[in-house]
Amino acid sequence: MRRIVMVSFLRARPDCGSPYHESKWAAEEIVRRSGIDHTILKCGMIYGSGDHMVDHVTKAVRTFPIFATVGYSERMVRPIAVDDAVDVLVAALEGRVTESTVAVMGPERLELGAAVRRIAEVAGRRPVYVRAPIWSIRALAQVTEWTMVTPLVAKAQAFMLAEGVDAPAPAAPELPEPLRPHRMFTAERIRAAMPHGRFGRADLRGLRRRP
């Protein structure tokens, strides 16, 4: 039997001003109109080795003495361990997810600042935290997209962090209780996802050494 399982983003939606969100939504709509049995997994923030959460925050706090948090009010996140994300994907492929569209979120709802502090603590760093207006984070995203091989923060990520990543948009049901992610955002799991080193010359466009 043919079946499509699509991994989308928790807040993918039309006409929101973010090409990333809108393109994910457009792909969802193609799947919905395909006439093929399908499951769309609207996933929140997934972390694991090589991610854009633990990886980038760790390198940032190892490189800079100051860390900027987004906006003047705390945004919320529900981090998903990559192992949990894989378990959900397998369940969907096996037909154990009955809804055609479901929200996939981690078991722990955290303030973004608390998640960053937890990563920094495991990394053995204590940066000075400053609250930065959303426009400045978006400006930083544009600059790092221009100058870095993998941006410190991309414009789509700035958009995500500005609104939080803890609830689906538009509304979507959660997974059945037995299938929901259950691994907590612990020091052990953070440590397992941490990269070596910090940001350096190799991360800058035009300055990366050729082999």
What pLDDT score does 162 carry?
87
Would residue 63 count as lying in a domain?
Answer: yes
Of the chain, the percentage scoring pLDDT greater than 90 comes to 78
What's the pLDDT at 176? 94
Question: Rounded to whole angstroms, how far apart are CA atoms 166 and 11?
Answer: 9
Q: Residue 77 belongs to a domain with what CATH number?
A: 3.40.50.720
In a domain, 133, yes or no: yes
Instruction: Tell me the per-residue pLDDT of 140-178, one tens digit each, with 9 for 90 and over.
Output: 999 999 999 988 889 999 899 889 999 999 999 999 999
Q: Does any domain span residue 66?
A: yes
Mean pLDDT of 39-68: 93
Domain membership flag for residue 208: no
Q: With cut-offs at 50, 70 and 90, classify the pLDDT of residue 133.
A: confident
pLDDT higher than 80, residue 128 = yes
- Kindly tell me if the per-residue pLDDT of 185 is higher than 80: yes
In a domain, 68, yes or no: yes
Choose among 19, 22, 24: nearest CA to 7.
Answer: 24
Greater confidence (208 vs 50) lies with: 50
**pLDDT given for residue 131 in this prediction:** 86
Q: What pLDDT was estimated at residue 207?
A: 65
| 3-class secondary structure, 133 | coil
| Number of compact structural domains in the chain | 1
Cα 105 to Cα 45, 120, 167, 193: the distances in Å are: 8, 22, 8, 18
Q: Give the residue numbers spanning the domain of 167.
A: 4-195
Query: What average pLDDT is seen over the chain?
Result: 92
> In the predicted model, is pLDDT for residue 97 greater than 90?
yes
* pLDDT value, residue 54: 95
